[in-house]
Structure 1
């Protein structure tokens, strides 16, 4: 039975092999669906690692190629097609036939170089690479902001262990972040998703004050995000080595009690 696993950086050292495998496949789903920043070369490296995990050593010799470079072995050709379909980002698949041959050739080269590597070893390398992105393992939601957070409307809302981060849509670079202790409340507001948070602002030289911000996002299925937040709030978030108190574990509320239509 497949279960979606929340990712906590603080517990990664105690992960079991099964948990690492599940996490790798969850991140792979984000990569395939365009929710992870990477270039074509890195995409091929990660694809080859999961190909080795899924199928083991590539069984292909130079005699298995046709004169134009296509694979003659039907079973291997099918494996390669399945590997690209399952592990390669969809945004990179709208290419010409010549480019497709180049992608397959590079994939086979990288896959062959992994001969003899165990599944556990490949997963270890895979996770070491993807964890270099600071938002690795976060739950990402594509949305449109209705605030002045960015010059563009389209953004990613990343929900993770430490809080929430708004990411620029095309580059996935962080625009602004809020830890959970600064979040006053969150939930549905009409047909959108709202976050109310405080930020420490330097209002004058050496003078700081907390300012409350209301962030509004277009999100039809806001309840999904709400459940994700609550799961993270109930996770092993700690402050000074101690679990968060009940007062920090906030639930969705009726925003009508706090805001007018303006």
Structure 2
């Protein structure tokens, strides 16, 4: 398996511009991140600084979120509400351009929390716009399901709901986040056996605390062996909250495929 580090949740004891180098020192050659800027259209200088930090560290950016709103306040995407749609559309070309610049081929579009003005047709339209733009640079837009315990207003909480959405938008794929799916009680072995060919990316953390594998209930040795034998050939993103310092949270990898 090929593993990458999510710099938005690991190495957070460091400024973002120092995290790519920290990942490289820890032995990783690939990273991913949530949208790391305050708004949808950051200044060129901000984009340049982050691109430079990734390039200088010698790591590959393999996953990037579109702007999802103010995540610390509970926002979980901008696709589905008229109030946030313009912000998402403003971000499409910026995010796709940044991904192209760094050779990133996976862009994650969070659907958005359920609100009084949620518009499923608008969400489909925005997802299609993002998929078309991403496809133009050889990238794929992925959509994930989130668990309802922590994301009470997020409407896509199962792989079945995600697949139903993805079936309506060509050029998209499933982000199989085993932490969220595990929290929702999904059979991860069956999901891999039946749908790994639809995975555009995989992310992992243990259940229920979202720590590194080995701190919870999931048998990641078995899960990742099965994934390694499946049609999925992409990276596995480490998107966990480390129990202890980030650089000391990777010993579990020694027993993994």
* TM-score w.r.t. length of structure 1: 0.28
Greater Rg over alpha carbons, structure: 1
Task: Judging by fraction of residues, say which structure has more strand.
Answer: 1
Higher RCO (CA 8 Å, separation ≥ 6 residues)? 2
